Amino acid sequence: MRAYIFRRLLAMAATLLGVSVIVFTMMRLIPGTVVEQLLGQSALVGEETIRALREFFGLDRPWYVQYVDWLGGLLRGDLGMSWRSNRPVLSLILSRLPVTAELALLAVAWSLLIGIPMGVVAALRRGATLDSVIRFASTLGLSVPAFWQGTLLILLFSIYLQWMPSIQWVSIRENVWANLSIIALPALTLGTATAAMISRMTRSTMLDVLGCDYVRTARAKGLREPRVVRHHALRNALIPVITVAGVQMGYILGGIVVVEDVFNLPGIGRLLLDAIFQRDYPVVQGTILVGAALFMGLNFLVDLLYAAIDPRIQYE
Amino acid sequence: MRPVSRIWLSRLRRNPLFAAGTIIITTFVILGILAPYVAPYPPIAVDAMKMFQSPSRDHLFGTDRFGRDLLSRVIHGVRVSLGIAGLSIGIATAAGSVLGLLAGYFERGVDQTLGRVMDVFFAFPSVLLALGISAVLGAGVRTVVIAIAVVYTPLFFRVMRASVLAEKQLTYVEAAASIGAGSWKIMLRHILPNTLSPLIVQVAVSLSYAILIESALSYLGVGVQPPTPSWGTILNEGKEFLPISPWISLFPGLFIMLSVLGLNFVSDGLRDYLDPRLRT
């Protein structure tokens, strides 16, 4: 197990290096350099100033020197400075992290809370009307675009029901109730597709498990149905569902950008989007890099969890 | 393997959801092709006298802030949104399966190199990668197509590579090799046709995600740009006017949902038939 963890970490470091190369290359493909972007249309600036600025940003050096320099910074936790706010990118990201983390956690929690029971019920009532209703609902949940669902919820709650949460962000430490009233609808929206996915997956693994010999044995020895379902079937059915949850992390991390935009939440997604519009490339670069690193880290944790829960899985 | 058209027909009769999905998608494709003839108005015809009209007999879906007919815009949006999804997934399927075929067949160095590169692209959450690409290339139809193609190529690579690796173990490949068939012939004539089932399912699933990604990028303002009517773009333009004219945001979203729903029904039906192991 320890050797496996070590090997995975090594592979992750290699992939992350690749990710950094891609992100670096992408930012260099942007037409014009920092200097042109910052100066914009002001053609009045002399050659001398442009050269000085290029030197200031280190653009006079060859690209590989720039990359190594940038990479060295990354390793020290230096993601560069924002061109617009002149603050370190890392501190910008960290300041937005609580909003995004709360949103993501609540979304995952709600999707598990609704998705697993739906899947279990559908599997137990296989072929019945309830099964069809749940299956249809989960396919619908997969098909609704998050920004449209969010728009409809806003329309329903704030415009027709006059239920207006504060427009200003309130952190959970300031006022729990106000915070939850702001974040409930966004978390609901973000978690819908994942809930649908988890419900479908739970239904299909439950059906597999319910057909297994040990479930028949459990029933044959006279255990009551709820106990068979909870202790024998569900426990084993949930193991593959965990992997789906891992893959869904990518969806959630992407969905955050959309949901934060719809509900106007000051999280990392909003930071990235504003940076794209303002051509604040160090921030774009930094947030995408952190997003990819988070995605990889979460998937790694899911794999470990998978191994910890299922003793049949042995990693050499 | 029976011809695809036959399979489709036999599924239509047995699976009502699959039939519903096929009908939705066929209708949308026809609507997209015939858009200029079906739409009652040109999609960018401005009419200052008819701004923000709610749905009526003249304008079934209402009008927007420029007095443009929303029904016409949404119908033309079918063309843009489905066109982008089809083109980008087409590119990703072609690129991903060629590379996957090579990696799975030759293994060793080819597989190692391609596999590492694809792993790196897989490390990005898809929407973030698409956003990054659009930040670099600038918003527009071409950018969205490239972004979605880049995001989905690694997926087709993996699907193809996995099925080639599995097929290669089978006796018929050995048989072909023993009667003197060359690498390319084995790959294209023998292995490729047997890998199509998982690929077809993957294409159907990916098309639905492509529609969602395109509309998300356009909704956020970094995808298709106005005045070109994609569903996401229309929703983006309706954002500020939500309280006064909610119909602008209502109909394009409904069309996105219907098309994705149709594709999901189709891909579920295909999966049940072609790949029973993954039945959901």
At A234 the pLDDT is 84
A144 touches chain B (CB under 8 A): yes
Q: List the single range of A49-53, A147-151, A208-212, B131-135 with lowest mean pLDDT.
A: A49-53
Asked if B124 and A251 count as a contact pair (C-beta separation under 8 A), the reply is no
Closest CA to A278 of A65, A92, A150, A104: A92
Helix (H, G, I), strand (E, B) or coil at A88: strand
Per-residue pLDDT tens over the stretch B103-127 = 888 878 888 888 888 988 888 888 8
The length of chain B, given as a count of residues: 280
With 60 as the cut, is the pLDDT of residue B76 above it?
A: yes
With 80 as the cut, is the pLDDT of residue B251 above it?
A: yes
Q: Are the beta carbons of A26 and B120 separated by less than 8 Å?
A: no
At B156 the pLDDT is 92
At residue A31's C-alpha, the angle toward residues A25 and A32, to 5°, is: 105
At B96 the pLDDT is 93
Per-residue pLDDT tens over the stretch A131-159 = 889 999 999 999 999 999 999 998 888 87
**To the nearest whole angstrom, how far is the Cα of A151 from the nearest Cα of chain B?**
8
With 50 as the cut, is the pLDDT of residue B280 above it?
A: no
**pTM of the predicted model as reported, rounded to 2 decimal places:** 0.88
Asked if B214 and B81 count as a contact pair (C-beta separation under 8 A), the reply is yes
Q: Are the beta carbons of A151 and B216 separated by less than 8 Å?
A: no
At B4 the pLDDT is 67
Q: Are the beta carbons of A291 and B125 separated by less than 8 Å?
A: yes
Task: Suggest the residue from A276, A287, A296 to mutate for an interface test with chain B (most B CBs closer than 10 A).
Answer: A276
Mean pLDDT of chain A: 84
With 70 as the cut, is the pLDDT of residue B278 above it?
A: no
Q: List the single range of A6-15, A50-59, A70-79, A120-129 with lowest mean pLDDT.
A: A50-59
With 50 as the cut, is the pLDDT of residue B7 above it?
A: yes
Residue A49 and residue A38: Cα distance in Å, rounded?
12
With 60 as the cut, is the pLDDT of residue B277 above it?
A: no
Per-residue pLDDT tens over the stretch A159-194 = 778 777 767 788 877 787 888 888 889 999 999 999
With 80 as the cut, is the pLDDT of residue A39 above it?
A: no
B28 touches chain A (CB under 8 A): no
Radius of gyration of chain B (CA): 22
Mean pLDDT of chain B: 85
At A38 the pLDDT is 65
With 80 as the cut, is the pLDDT of residue A129 above it?
A: yes
Closest CA to A274 of A93, A142, A147, A125: A93
Residue A204 and residue A201: Cα distance in Å, rounded?
5
Q: Are the beta carbons of A257 and B220 separated by less than 8 Å?
A: yes
With 70 as the cut, is the pLDDT of residue A32 above it?
A: no
Residue A269 and residue B22: Cα distance in Å, rounded?
36
- Comparing B225 with B10, the larger pLDDT belongs to B225
Residue B248 and residue A162: Cα distance in Å, rounded?
20
At B24 the pLDDT is 92
Per-residue pLDDT tens over the stretch B55-69 = 877 777 777 777 787
Q: Looking at this protein, which amino acid is placed at residue B186?
A: I
- Number of C-alpha atoms within 13 angstroms, CB side, residue A185? 25
Residue B205 and residue B126: Cα distance in Å, rounded?
15
Per-residue pLDDT tens over the stretch B29-52 = 998 888 788 777 777 777 777 777
At B279 the pLDDT is 44
**To the nearest whole angstrom, how far is the Cα of B22 from the nearest Cα of chain A?**
15
Residue range B173-190: mean pLDDT, rounded: 81
Q: What is the ipTM of this complex?
A: 0.86
